[in-house]
Structure formats: structure tokens, C-alpha cells
Amino acid sequence: MTPPNTKNGFFQCFAGFNKNDILSRFLVMELLIAIKQAFVLLATGDADLYEVIFLSLKVNLTAVGLAAAIGLPLGALLATTKFRGHSALVALINTLMGLPPVVVGLFVYMMISRSGPLGVLELLYTPTAMIVAQMILVTPIITALSRQALARMHADYQPLFIMLGLPPRKRMMTLIKDGWVDLLTALLAGLGRAMAEVGAVMIVGGNINHFTRVMTTSITLETSRGNLATALSLGVVLLFMTLMINALVVTLGRRAQHD
């Protein structure tokens, strides 16, 4: 009915947007303001924002690093060897990939709260506690994804391994060397999950300002306070960072496929 209107083209790309609807118009304006504010905050080097970003990165990169130290060798082991209970273990790890973060948070909380078995360590509401929770969450993801990739490769390589009489350790090293793109993709998938996660770090970290506040918990807080613009601008930054991680995953994945 209405003739094409280039002026409204941008707004129309939001699904369900109706330019005559006050609420739709308000939401879009809000989003645009948030994006602008996000860049202003980033560009002006807002100390609080950068503190939150850096803690997010520190906690999640450390957690992913530790999870990788467990998950990659375990994945390689599961991909190259068969033993009693092998398929049960694989099934368990695949299931753990879908662990609800709040359950992990609760579990870690119970372990490290003052009355818990590890209470003496006084870890509750510290970045360390958050790292532990994130690590538990991410380890199954990295293990399962790397096992999957390496198992496929191992099936291809196995005749050569047998003919050369290679011991398991050398087989594993070869698979890791030749499959590094797949493994990096697994790590980035883990990092993406950790960055987006809020339930577990909230429970064990407590979202303490200047100490355990990370991006996701910060967004939760600002939203509940009604500071939608701040929450949104944090959201935009988080989105941007997750986007970068995912773009890296996709690029590497595509490369691995082509290779």
C-alpha cells in the first residue's frame, strides 16, 4: 500500500517494528542511544566500564585456560583410546555440556561457603570462586568438542598409525598438531559460553563493586535499578565482544572445513 520510503528503511529492519507504534519507536530510540552511549563510554575510557570488562576477561580467560588444560588432553585421550566405561564417560561429558549455570553456582557455593567442606579457604565472593565455577561449566564443553573433532580425525589416521606402530602419546600429539584449528574452535566456543554466563558468577561472586563485578552481573544489576541505558550500553559491549569471538569461531571453522 504505502510507497517505499527510504527514510524509514533502517527502522523497518527491526522485525515487528511499526513506525506508528509509540513503543516500537521508543525502543529503537533507546537502543540507538545505548549504542551511542556505549561508544562514548568506551572512547572516553570510563574507568568503571573498563574495570568490569577487564575482570570479565580475566576471570573467563583464566577459566577457559584451566578448562583447556583438563579438557584438551582428556578429549584427546577419549578420542584415541577405548577402555571400560568409555562410552559412558563420553555420554556423561556430552550431558554435562548442558549443565545449568545456576546449578554449578549452587554447587560451588555449597563447597566454599563458610560451613562448606572448603570453607576455610574463604573463597566465597572472590574472583577465584568465579573462575572455579566458570571452569566447571566450560570444561565439559571443551572436552566434548575436542573429543568429537579428534575422534573423526583419528578414524581417518588410524590405519597409518597402526602401520607405523605409533604409541598412544605420539598419536595424540599428531592429532593435536594437525587438528589445532578444530581445537581452537572448541576453546572459543567455551569462552563464548563463559562470557555470556551470569547465573554461576552471580551466586559465587556476589557482584561486589570493584571486586567481583563482571559484565553480565553488571547488566543484571543496572537493569534491576532501572538504568536501562547503562545496562544496554554494557550489553552492546558484551554483544560486540561475543560477536568477535563467534566471528573467530566461524572463520576458523570455515578454514578447518576447507583445509
Partner 1 sequence: MIKVPHLMLEGLNLSLIRQDHPIINGVNLNVGNTGICGLVGANGSGKTTLISLMAGLITPDAGEVRMTGMGGMAPSPLRIGLMMQKPVIMRRSIYGNCDYVLAAQGVAAHERKARIEEGLALVNLYALRHQDARTLSSGEQQRMALARVLIADPGVLLCDEATSNLDPQSTRMIEAIVKSKAKDGLPVLWVTHNLAQLRRLASRVVFMDQGRVLAEQEISDFFEAPASKEARDYLYFESV
User: Which distant-in-sequence residues (6+ apart) come within 8 Å of 134 by Cβ?
Assistant: 59, 60, 63, 64, 67, 194, 197, 200, 201
- Residue 80 lies near partner 1 (rule: CB under 8 A): no
- CB under 8 A: which stretch of 15-23, 84-92, 130-138, 157-165 binds partner 1? 157-165
- Residue 89 lies near partner 1 (rule: CB under 8 A): no
* Cβ atoms of 220 and 206 closer than 8 Å: no
- Residue 160 lies near partner 1 (rule: CB under 8 A): yes
- CB under 8 A: which stretch of 51-59, 130-138, 151-159, 192-200 binds partner 1? 151-159
Cα(164)–Cα(145) distance, integer angstroms: 27
Q: Which of 84, 165, 224, 226 binds partner 1 (CB under 8 A)?
A: 165
- Residue 178 lies near partner 1 (rule: CB under 8 A): yes
- Residue 157 lies near partner 1 (rule: CB under 8 A): yes
Instruction: Please identify, using beta-carbon distances, which residue of 3 and 159 lies nearer to partner 1.
Output: 159
- Residue 254 lies near partner 1 (rule: CB under 8 A): no
- CB under 8 A: which stretch of 22-30, 158-166, 195-203, 219-227 binds partner 1? 158-166
- Cβ of residue 250: shortest distance to partner 1, in angstroms? 19
- CB under 8 A: which stretch of 23-31, 60-68, 85-93, 160-168 binds partner 1? 160-168
- What are the cell numbers at 216? 553480565
* Cβ atoms of 149 and 156 closer than 8 Å: no
Cα(20)–Cα(114) distance, integer angstroms: 56
Among 184, 153, 160, 155, which Cα is nearest to 253's? 184
CA distances for 54 relative to 8, 51, 149, 212, 214, angstroms: 38, 5, 31, 11, 8
- What are the cell numbers at 20? 506508528
- Residue 164 lies near partner 1 (rule: CB under 8 A): yes
Pattern 203-232, partner 1, x by CB under 8 A: ------------------------------
* 94 torsion bin: left (phi>0), alpha (psi -120 to 50), beta (else): alpha
Residues 131-150 that bind partner 1 (CB under 8 A): none
Q: Which of 153, 186, 200, 252 binds partner 1 (CB under 8 A)?
A: 153
Q: How many residues bind partner 1 (CB under 8 A)?
A: 15
- Cβ of residue 150: shortest distance to partner 1, in angstroms? 12
* 99 torsion bin: left (phi>0), alpha (psi -120 to 50), beta (else): beta
- Cβ of residue 233: shortest distance to partner 1, in angstroms? 43
Listed in order, strand segments (DSSP E) in 60-141 are: none
Chain length of the chain: 259
Contacts with partner 1 by CB under 8 A lie at: 153, 156-157, 159-160, 162-166, 170, 174, 178-179, 259
